[in-house]
Structure 1
Amino acid sequence: MRVAVVGAGAIGAYVGACLHRAGADVSLIARGENLAALRADGVRVFSPRGDFQARPHATDDPEEIGPVDHVLLGLKAYSYATCGPLVNPLLKEDTSIIPAQNGIPWWYFHGLTGPHEGQRIEAVDPGGAVSRVLPPRRAIGCVVYPATELAAPGVVRHMEGTRFAIGEPDGSESARCREFSDAMIAGGLKCPVESDVRRDIWIKLMGNTAFNPISALTGATLAGICRHDGVRGLVTNMMNETLEVAAALGCHPEIEVERRIAGAERTGEHKTSTLQDLEKGKPLELAAMLAAVVELADLAGVEAPTLRTVGSLGDLLERRTAEPTPAGVG
């Protein structure tokens, strides 16, 4: 099985290293200092489950790799519309695309029977730009649960979790899902093939929709957010509204809000990926995590007042961080 990881950041490099040690033919696409480190020393993983090192092929040229069986996207969702030059050389007729992203995916309504089948979500597929580059028929849903960070170029710190839930958008049991799942399991990861991967999307999204924008707006860790009574109430409202949107679209995750918050609190003084991106001066991924949920609330006729309020604050933050810094400031 041949796998290309486009965007060998924390999650991409971690998955690539696990697949490689299980015997898969893995190529990592990276750039800059990260690529130089991967070429020199491979991927070094530091984990409470055991440290290890893997040396998959690393390059910045997808033409050097050629067509593969599976493409794992380790890019942020806002990069999808422009990733064609990296992905196209890797595709053959039946190549799957597995996006390891947070939030609502661009393919969400693909293969979903009902009144919204084929509906495009503007927040994550503006003008159809993503669907043109990444055809929904190629997509395998993927929900990422592990917490990792790129501690240094080529160095992944794995904090917790090994579960990657995958599934076909139409709910079918496919050979391509089973092949990828088997390889992931052989690499020491959990990778169940779900008949309703959207359920996992919403369960993960409950946390992303609330914790990620709040952490970026306040600078607080997960534990800090959960231990503040007023903000904990805000999180509760946002999670309940997120579940209301999911239910209005026909998805009913069986999870209690308080249990979801308690799980986040146990994670401790962990910074969300959005706060980490903000501190590094990188673009934020709130369109997929929050703006898309508000768009879906409009589609489903759900009021979701708290999501809309925090969404507006998040949008303002994104616009402010995208503005050039005035001369003499910073």
Structure 2
Amino acid sequence: MRFVIIGAGAVGGVLGAHLFHGGEDVVLVDPAEHIETIRRQGLHLKGRYGDFVVHIPAVRDIAEVTPQAEDILCLAVKQYHTAEALPQLRRVYDAGTPLFCFQNTVENEEMALQHFQRVYGVVVRMGAKFVTPGEVSHLGGNSLTIGRYPGGIDETVETVATHLRNGGFQVHLHPEIVGVKWYKLFLNLSNSIHAIFGLSSAESPNDPECRKLRADLLEESLAVVKAAGIPLHHVEGEPPIETLIQQLRQDDFPVREVPADPAERPYPSMWQDLYWQRGKTEVQALNGKIAALGRRVQVPTPINDLLVRLVEEMVSKGEKPGKYTIAQFRDMLSSAT
């Protein structure tokens, strides 16, 4: 079995480094300059789960890959690159090739089914960070939940799970991966909060006002999916959304340790998109998805609406994370409602 990982940034880089380090056959595919650095000096992974360099095969175009019978395609690009990546993959691989979506949002798998017959969803729970070309950081969490899309567990899922465990990952199988993907979307709704206020994932739990805003955001979003009849299946080791809302509202919420070195703090992908000024984020596929669904079922979503507007304004102006305070956000929310 060979893992062909499309997208060698934070998630794809960490995934590929651990698998290759664990003895698996891997090739990275990414058009970025990142690949040229990996070719010259290897991929450096550092963080909680090791500090090592792997000299991993890497190419800049999927057309450079010669397909093998047991290849597993691993899509690890941002959601906004999925539509472009899928037809490129089909020009090289036949429709029966297994494709695993190591991505946020709930739209990638549906898009993949238009090109591939065997599609699998993966819920990624790990703090991955692109540091610089040739270097990625794994700052915490190594949990993967996988299942056949839209539902079921098959032999491919079980085999891939075994190989992922060889790479050091904690792997859980789930027969209803759609509900788990929706649960993960709920966890990712706060990515926009971290981006707007400039907070790391370690800092935000220690801020009572940030916790309250996150709880309000989840409560608003939960009303939408309940009205739409969409089930949520919580990730192994994580609480149901209703319980998480209660926990976030508690005064005695456990304090998180914040690394003294900012480089060691985990930042969500949307924060990283703004910081690196990539010109795009997944805010429409996350908060925008809830807002659009809310309009369809006639449930108001003022918090999600404002988050989408502010993130998109920051992207259009090339602004870095941390432009606003929570107090400013609350004032704008009051004015909007």
User: TM-score category by the smaller chain?
Assistant: 0.7 to 0.9
Counterpart check, 1:65 vs 2:62: no
For residues 13 and 188 of structure 1, the distance between their equivalents in structure 2, rounded to whole angstroms, comes to 14
Contact 2:103 2:123 (C-alpha < 8 Å) held by counterparts: yes
Partner of 2:273: 277
Partner of 2:41: 41
Counterpart check, 1:178 vs 2:174: no
3-state DSSP of counterpart to 1:162: strand
Partner of 2:96: 94
3-state DSSP of counterpart to 2:189: helix
The change in CA–CA distance for 1:33 and 1:310 in structure 2 (over 3 A counts) is closer
The change in CA–CA distance for 1:271 and 1:186 in structure 2 (over 3 A counts) is closer
Counterpart check, 1:4 vs 2:4: yes
Counterpart check, 1:15 vs 2:5: no
For residues 209 and 140 of structure 2, the distance between their equivalents in structure 1, rounded to whole angstroms, comes to 28
3-state DSSP of counterpart to 2:180: helix
Count residues with an aligned counterpart.
299
The change in CA–CA distance for 1:181 and 1:62 in structure 2 (over 3 A counts) is same
Picking from 76, 79, 99, the partner of 2:78 is 76
Counterpart check, 1:31 vs 2:31: yes
Picking from 275, 288, 313, the partner of 2:310 is 313
Equivalent residue letter for 1:231: C
Deviation for aligned residue 1:315 = 3.7
* Cα shift readout 1:63-122 (whole Å, capped 9, x = no counterpart): 221335321112111111222464224422421222222222243xx5xxxxxxxxxxxx
Matches within 5 A, 1:128-147: 130=111, 135=115, 137-147=117-127
Picking from 189, 193, 198, the partner of 1:214 is 193
Give the unaligned 5+ runs of structure 2.
234-239, 259-264, 320-337
* Cα shift readout 1:265-315 (whole Å, capped 9, x = no counterpart): 637454322112112111211121211122223344433332233333334
For residues 229 and 13 of structure 1, the distance between their equivalents in structure 2, rounded to whole angstroms, comes to 34
Deviation for aligned residue 1:43 = 2.1
Deviation for aligned residue 1:224 = 4.4
Partner of 2:231: 251
Deviation for aligned residue 1:46 = 1.4
Contact 1:223 1:264 (C-alpha < 8 Å) held by counterparts: no
For residues 192 and 243 of structure 1, the distance between their equivalents in structure 2, rounded to whole angstroms, comes to 24
For residues 216 and 264 of structure 1, the distance between their equivalents in structure 2, rounded to whole angstroms, comes to 22
TM-score by length of 1: 0.80
Contact 1:202 1:246 (C-alpha < 8 Å) held by counterparts: no
* Cα shift readout 1:128-173 (whole Å, capped 9, x = no counterpart): xx458x5364321111111011222222211111111111123211
Deviation for aligned residue 1:250 = 3.2
Contact 1:70 1:96 (C-alpha < 8 Å) held by counterparts: yes
For residues 230 and 44 of structure 1, the distance between their equivalents in structure 2, rounded to whole angstroms, comes to 37
Deviation for aligned residue 1:213 = 1.4
Contact 2:43 2:53 (C-alpha < 8 Å) held by counterparts: yes
The change in CA–CA distance for 1:154 and 1:259 in structure 2 (over 3 A counts) is farther
For residues 7 and 87 of structure 2, the distance between their equivalents in structure 1, rounded to whole angstroms, comes to 13
Contact 2:147 2:176 (C-alpha < 8 Å) held by counterparts: yes
Give the unaligned 5+ runs of structure 1.
111-129, 323-330
Contact 1:67 1:92 (C-alpha < 8 Å) held by counterparts: no
* Cα shift readout 1:26-67 (whole Å, capped 9, x = no counterpart): 111123431122112322221323323333311113222133
The change in CA–CA distance for 1:267 and 1:312 in structure 2 (over 3 A counts) is farther
Partner of 2:133: 153
Contact 1:14 1:45 (C-alpha < 8 Å) held by counterparts: yes
TM-score by length of 2: 0.78
